Amino acid sequence: MLSRRLAAAVDALGLRPGLRVLEIGCGPGAAAREVARRVGPDGFVLGVDRSSRAVSAARRAADADGIGSHRLDFDCSAVEEFELGERVPFDVAFALRVGALDGRHPGLYDAAVRAVTRALRPGGVLLVDGGDPLRRIELPTDH
């Protein structure tokens, strides 16, 4: 069961079946698992966290919930260093309580936004906490 805060954030994402979603700072993966349920078997969610311990916990919880890796996966990476690699770009990215994007670590903000922008398809959106409950970050157009 999601906390009220996480449930409100997931509700605010405007999810629909088939979307590809990137969660930055996924922690133990509770929101990522709920997003995977909502985007259905044709969607995909990647949860990213800088903590290998959090990523391991997220993988264990996804396995326990029976959500297959074709719908949900996790990657250990700091947002400002995240690389899309061979993955298909994402439609939506979201971050909750991620210091590089919420103002707590302003020196990382530009690199974090550039990394997320490179991971999104053209027209993709980045949503972070601090709105009602989320706010949209304007992305650079030169990617």
pLDDT for 35-66, tens place per residue? 999 999 999 999 999 999 999 999 999 999 98
Two tokens, residue 16: 């629909």
Q: Identify the pLDDT of residue 69.
A: 84
Per-domain residue ranges for the chain?
Answer: 4-137
Instruction: Tell me the average pLDDT across 96-100.
Output: 95
Instruction: Please give the model's pTM, rounded to 2 decimal places.
Output: 0.95
Q: Identify the pLDDT of residue 143.
A: 52
Rounded Cα gap, residues 109 and 81, in angstroms? 12
Q: Residue 74 — very low, low, confident or very high, per pLDDT cuts 50/70/90?
A: very high
- Closest to 22 measured CA to CA, from 100, 119, 97: 119
Out of 2.60.120.200, 3.40.50.150, 3.40.50.720, 3.30.70.140, the CATH code matching 4-137 is 3.40.50.150
- Closest to 59 measured CA to CA, from 25, 26, 89, 92: 26
The 8 Å CB, 24+ separation contacts for 1-4 are 2/30, 2/31, 2/34, 3/30
Q: Residue 1 — very low, low, confident or very high, per pLDDT cuts 50/70/90?
A: confident
Kindly tell me if the per-residue pLDDT of 130 is higher than 90: no
Instruction: Tell me the average pLDDT across 99-108.
Output: 94
